[in-house]
Structure 1
């Protein structure tokens, strides 16, 4: 099973650019989105995050069930659902202000008890390093997944508006990065983490960490890049016929990359490092199609595997 651990939340999204005060609720959160995208691409996927008893918890459970994601924490919690107030710039790129709640309503014992015995892939959520008391628990979950044979991935997803202690956050993030075999980040994450450093230098720094064997960098309209210990590659975005917005684009791309790697027999630490440029390009192109189809819709609505295959075969 693929397991994605981390936040789920409700995105409160403006109805239009002209009516920012009028908002509609969409289920979201980067790990939540990625889990749904993975399952819709045909992967046996579990989601590890508390779900609230409130009405927004029902909103979160519906798309998980529709996509066939296994909700690993069966008992719902009293804390209110975490919320993100979404705004868009002129290019319809999203930014967020957060109100946290149920995504933090866990204990070490509950998370470890819910982790399956067989985990082939464990993905670390972007909120996990933000607070020390949470990070301590999530680090133990990652270690438990690794001992069960899981390849470890992380989508960094810096949320600077939630970070009160930058030095502490950087240290905690570094601890998670030291556990990861695959690291994904955006060009915005890169600019925040390593201002003045080139993407190539940053990728090399990540690959020098104890376990990292593959780095993927997304660059908005400029496409994506990948770096292994055996080469690098780039791929353009896939442009949908009609553009919706970019919500969940990176999460969808990540799901596509993980799916491609698994089907290629490369989602193992010893094989990630050996990915050659041609393989990296094919991986990025598959991920770009998954992300591009999602961007043809409003909100995060990852495609089915049939939709992806139809584009690839056209």
Structure 2
């Protein structure tokens, strides 16, 4: 089983201000790990999601897409804490302002998370909010070590959010502890610039590949595509542009799911095989991930494609 650990949340997004002057909000399921788990399942992977789900109505709303995609909630008992909210409002200049109200995503214990891990997970993917709070990070690191001990390949997509971090230097130290543990790191160019704007992408990648376990680094560049680095080579791929464009919500999470799926199917989701990936295979991996991400962008909000949809596009492209 592929296990994804981290937050699920509700995005409350302000609608255009009407004549009544009242702010109206729309609610959407979200959270980077949540999105990635759904994308993995839609691509045909046996997937479990390790995150507490609230007993409230939003919790029920979050469970719907997980069930539809075939994701197994590994913490079956729902929690009394309210669902975590990301509230997006617009200021007078129509610029988005974000406020996070965390609840159920932090309503866990170390023992509860470890007990919910499968006996032999194939992959443990972590990221999102996990490194933000010191206490949470310590628990998730212990869970990751447990998964590693059970034979899992470890991957991380930290989705760096400086606005959520009170002490960025301390956050960097916590993130370094995760980087020292995992086999695969995926970041955006914006993540890297937030961590150290003075270093090039190549310098960041070299630093990560010098860590004890890391064998593959993937960096997303928005409309400019993506890059991949191993000790054996590097590659670059462009984006897949869908016929009709919705938005980019969940594109990075979908790309990550595509990359993990490709590696698993090629027999490369193993520490030694990751380090040995060369230019040709890295290029194919990035193109597969880009196709998954591009198809997700054909809809509004995060809506990852099914495996059949991905295969149809790849077959048409030859």
Instruction: Please list the CA deviations of residues 169-228 of structure 1 after superposition, one character each: whole Å capped at 9, or x if unmatched.
Output: 110000011001000000110110111211011100110111000000001000000001
Partner residue, 2:9: 9
RMSD: 1.9
Gaps of 5+ in 2: none
Alpha carbons 1:257, 1:286 under 8 Å: kept: yes
The alpha-carbon deviation at position 285 of structure 1 amounts to 0.4
- Check 1:245–1:68 CA distance in 2 against 1; reply closer, same or farther (3 A cut): same
Mark the CA change 1:17 to 1:236 in structure 2 (over 3 Å): closer, same or farther: farther
Q: Kindly provide the CA deviation profile for residues 109-168 of structure 1, in whole angstroms up to 9, marking residues without a partner as x.
A: 111110110101001122111111111111110000000100000002001121011111
Unaligned runs of 5+ in 1: none
Alignment partner of 1:171 is 2:181: no
* Secondary structure of 2:234 counterpart: strand
8 Å Cα contact 1:44/1:69 also seen in 2? yes
Indicate conservation of the 8 Å contact 2:192/2:201, yes or no: yes
* Matching of residue 109 in structure 1 with residue 111 in structure 2: yes
The CA distance in 2 between the partners of 1:305 and 1:161, in whole Å, is 35
1:129–1:169 Cα contact (<8 Å) kept: yes
Structure 2 equivalent of residue 268 of structure 1: 270
- The CA distance in 2 between the partners of 1:220 and 1:265, in whole Å, is 28
| Secondary structure at 1:273 match in 2 | helix
Q: 2:299: which partner in 1?
A: 297
Corresponding residue SS for 1:122: strand
For 1:18 and 1:273, the matched residues in 2 are separated by 54
CA contact (8 A) 1:129 1:173 kept: yes
CA deviations on 1:6-47 (whole Å, 9 max, x unpaired) are 000011234469999432111110000000000000000000
Contact kept in structure 2, 1:11 and 1:86, CA below 8 Å:
yes
1:242, 1:87 → 2: CA distance?
Answer: 27
Q: Say if 1:97 and 1:161, in contact at 8 Å, map to a contact too.
A: no
Tell me which of 164, 187, 190 is aligned to 1:188. 190
CA distance in 2, matches of 1:257, 1:86: 30
TM-score computed with the length of structure 1 as normaliser: 0.95
CA distance in 1, matches of 2:161, 2:194: 10
1:234 alignment counterpart: 236
User: Which one of the candidate residues 24, 27, 48 is aligned to 1:22?
Assistant: 24
Quote how far apart the aligned CAs of 1:94 are: 8.3
1:210 alignment counterpart: 212
Runs of 4+ in structure 1 displaced over 6 angstroms? 17-20
Q: What is residue 52 of structure 1 aligned with on the other side? A: 54
SS in 1 for 2:136: helix
1:311 aligned residue (310, 313, 317): 313
Query: 2 CA distance for matches of 1:222 and 1:95?
Result: 26
CA distance in 2: counterparts of 1:94 and 1:45, whole angstroms:
33
- Tell me how far 1:99 sits from its aligned partner: 1.2
Write the deviation string for residues 271-306 of structure 1: whole angstroms up to 9, x where unpaired. 000000010010000000100011110000100000
Which whole-Å CA distance do the structure 1 matches of 2:18 and 2:40 have between them? 34
Q: In the alignment, is the contact (CA less than 8 A) between 1:94 and 1:247 conserved in 2?
A: no
Deviation of 1:96 (Å): 4.2
- Establish whether residue 70 from structure 1 lines up as the match of residue 75 from structure 2: no
**Structure 1 residues 177-186 or 78-87, which shifts more?**
78-87
Aligned to 2:314, what secondary structure does the other structure show? helix
CA contact (8 A) 2:17 2:24 kept: no
Distance 1:33 1:16, change over 3 A: farther
String of CA shifts for 1:81-101, please: whole Å, max 9, x gaps.
00112469xxxx988431111
Of 142, 157, 175, the residue aligned with 2:159 is 157
State how many pairs are aligned: 311
* Partner SS for 1:257: helix
C-alpha change, 1:17 and 1:190, in structure 2 (3 Å) is farther
